[in-house]
Amino acid sequence: MQKDSMFALAQQTLLTPYALDANQLEQVFSKMLAHRIDYADLYFQYGRAESWSLEEGIVKSGSFSIDQGVGVRAVSGEKTAFAYSDDISLNALENAALATRAIARQGNSQSVPALGKKTNAAQLYLAHDPIASLSAADKVALLERLERHARALDPRVTQVMAGLAGEYEVVMVARSDGVMNADIRPLVRLSLQVIVESNGRREQGSAGGGGRFDYAYFSDDILQKYAAEAVHQAVINLDARPAPAGNMTVVLGSGWPGILLHEAVGHGLEGDFNRKGSSAFSGRVGERVAAKGVTVVDDGSIADRRGSLQMDDEGNPTQRTLLIEDGILRGYLQDSMNARLMKVGVTGNARRESYAHLPMPRMTNTMMLNGDKTQEEIIASVKNGLYAANFGGGQVDITSGKFVFSTTEAYMIEDGKITYPVKGATLIGNGPEALTRVSMIGNDLALDPGVGTCGKEGQSVPVGVGQPTVRIDGLTVGGTA
């Protein structure tokens, strides 16, 4: 679907049923701009979402929801006024507009530009409706096939839990500078968790993936891949020994382990934290913040990726933003308000959970770029250390940069070779400091399979992460041995 037809479909979904058009939206802006404000926008949203879960061959739950509404925002300096309604009507819009004028400065009314200008955004994904792409029976059958694949791999698999989720979202942004833009956003995710048991010991493994497409992505080859990953992780942990504790060299695997970079470093590079001086990276643009060779980007313009958007939630095209270049801090992730206050350009990183939430600078797909070493060279360079192949949950303090992450698949490295699996390993450190301890960077950059969700100030949004294999010297490992 071309951008013009996508825009027309968004209009038909969000404006036409409620007898709204550009002229009436201009009337709403005229009420908001009757007093002096810096910026105003309207964010319309329609969304459908579903989820299915299967356990032991039985459908345990199925849910379906529809949500729609509009958020009305006015910005003056550092002050923001915001109102939202699930009633998309001219009356609701005008009432919300009047409510936002409370922050206006003294001054004359401002002119209202004609709406209709579009920003130039690339088409990154098709306007699929994943929910309509399979019947209910076929969705259940897909989960049943995934379960069969997992059970067929190893007789020690005693329990299988699978989940399928899909979203179809139509959004439109109208702004006080005349920009009016729309996006249609599909999103799917498939998840798998298995439990294996042997000699009275039980372990679990998980896998999954997704992105901005429909359920047709989940072919039998993809299902077999997820099943193999989950069963492998669980079986490896059956033989795992307690992880040692102490200060040691840690090698992070490629792909999903980039979640450590996302949490421990990425949040600290978001514009609002830096404008307020609450990030460990505040005021450090142009300074060395990482070891040579470390280059970090945020890229919301990668086709079909879970964290990608054709436009951000202020109507700006997403882009590839250079954050750290060869260890030097180059910039931050910005929405319009923080960019204006910091006197820099927007980066297309304004994101919100829904029309009922304010946008703020957020990550999209955040990754460390390739170095020049092979994974084998990096492993061979370690006399004694830990190879963290996969991660579970973690926590980070934005102000200090301190983090704690648990591994779900990890191995000891002895004399340059991976020897035996360990469990119970947690990585403890400081994000900015850990960046300075990176001593080798692999050439095997991989992105996560499409499972990430990021939380900030009570809002959750889909994100992506990625990195090559990375060696970090002198990281604290918490273990159970």
The 10s digit of each residue's pLDDT in 258-276 is: 998 898 889 999 999 999 9
Task: With a cut of 90, say whether residue 15 has pLDDT above it.
Answer: yes
Residue 2 pLDDT grade (very low, low, confident, very high; cuts 50, 70, 90): low
Q: What percent of the chain has a predicted confidence (pLDDT) above 90?
A: 85
Residue 108 pLDDT grade (very low, low, confident, very high; cuts 50, 70, 90): low
**pLDDT value for 171:** 97
Burial 407-423 (b: 16+ CB within 10 A, else e): bbbbbbbeeeeeeebbb
Do 186 and 127 contact (CB within 8 A), yes or no? yes
User: In 10 A of CB 406, how many CB atoms?
Assistant: 17
Q: Where are the alpha helices (DSSP H) in 101-219?
A: 136-153
Q: Give dist(CA 469, CA 316) in Å, integer.
A: 33
Residue 56 pLDDT grade (very low, low, confident, very high; cuts 50, 70, 90): confident
User: In 10 A of CB 272, how many CB atoms?
Assistant: 21
Task: With a cut of 70, say whether residue 107 has pLDDT above it.
Answer: no
Q: What percent of the chain has a predicted confidence (pLDDT) above 70?
A: 98
Q: Taking all residues of the chain, what is their mean pLDDT, rounded to a whole number?
A: 94
Task: With a cut of 70, say whether residue 202 has pLDDT above it.
Answer: yes
**pLDDT value for 304:** 98
Q: CA end-to-end span of the chain, whole Å?
A: 57
Average pLDDT over residues 40-68: 95
Give me 407's structure tokens: 């591994």
Q: How far is CA 174 from the centre of its chain?
A: 24
Higher per-residue confidence, 250 vs 116? 250
233 burial via Cβ count (<10 Å: 0-12, 13-18, 19+): buried
Average pLDDT over residues 168-194: 97
Q: Which amino acid is at 72?
A: V
Residue 115 pLDDT grade (very low, low, confident, very high; cuts 50, 70, 90): confident
Q: Is 97 left (phi over 0), alpha (psi -120 to 50) or beta?
A: alpha
Do 246 and 422 contact (CB within 8 A), yes or no? no
**pLDDT value for 118:** 77
Task: With a cut of 80, say whether residue 324 has pLDDT above it.
Answer: yes
Task: With a cut of 70, say whether residue 216 has pLDDT above it.
Answer: yes
The C-alpha angle with vertex 185 and arms to 180 and 188, in degrees rounded to 5, equals 170
Q: Which amino acid is at 216?
A: A
The C-alpha angle with vertex 452 and arms to 449 and 458, in degrees rounded to 5, equals 170
Q: How far is CA 89 from the centre of its chain?
A: 32
Average pLDDT over residues 401-407: 90
**pLDDT value for 41:** 96
pLDDT tens readout for residues 148-177: 999 999 999 999 999 999 999 999 999 999
User: In 10 A of CB 63, how many CB atoms?
Assistant: 10
Q: Give dist(CA 443, CA 406) in Å, integer.
A: 25
Task: With a cut of 80, say whether residue 240 has pLDDT above it.
Answer: yes
pLDDT tens readout for residues 463-474: 999 999 999 999
**H or E element at residue 378:** helix 375-380
Q: Where are the alpha helices (DSSP H) in 134-203?
A: 136-153
Specify the pTM: 0.95
Q: Give dist(CA 9, CA 455) in Å, integer.
A: 30
Do 467 and 448 contact (CB within 8 A), yes or no? no
Residue 347: partners with Cβ closer than 8 Å, 6 or more residues away:
298, 319, 321, 331, 332, 333, 334, 339, 361
Task: With a cut of 80, say whether residue 44 has pLDDT above it.
Answer: yes
Residue 285 pLDDT grade (very low, low, confident, very high; cuts 50, 70, 90): very high
Q: Is 302 helix (H, G, I), strand (E, B) or coil?
A: coil
Question: How many Cα atoms within 13 Å fall on the side-chain side of residue 114?
Answer: 2
Do 28 and 144 contact (CB within 8 A), yes or no? no
Higher per-residue confidence, 349 vs 105? 349
Give me 298's structure tokens: 């945020």
Average pLDDT over residues 76-96: 93
Q: Is 453 helix (H, G, I), strand (E, B) or coil?
A: strand
